[in-house]
Amino acid sequence: MWAILSQLKKKIIECLDSDNDGVRVHAIHFLETLVLVYSSPPSNGTLLVGSKKGSKAAISNKTTQEFNLSMIAPKHIILNANELKMEGEKYIGILITKLTRADLFVAYHFLL
Question: Is pTM beyond 0.75 here?
Answer: no
Helix (H) or strand (E) run with residue 22 in it? helix 21-37
| Class at the top of the CATH hierarchy for domain 2-111 | mainly alpha
Segment 14-40, tens digit of pLDDT: 999 888 988 988 999 999 999 988 888
31 or 99, which is more confident?
31
Nearest in space to 31 (alpha carbons), one of 48, 14, 52, 55: 14
Write down the domain spans for the chain: 2-111
pLDDT reported for residue 54: 46
Q: Is the Cβ–Cβ distance between 27 and 12 less than 8 Å?
A: yes
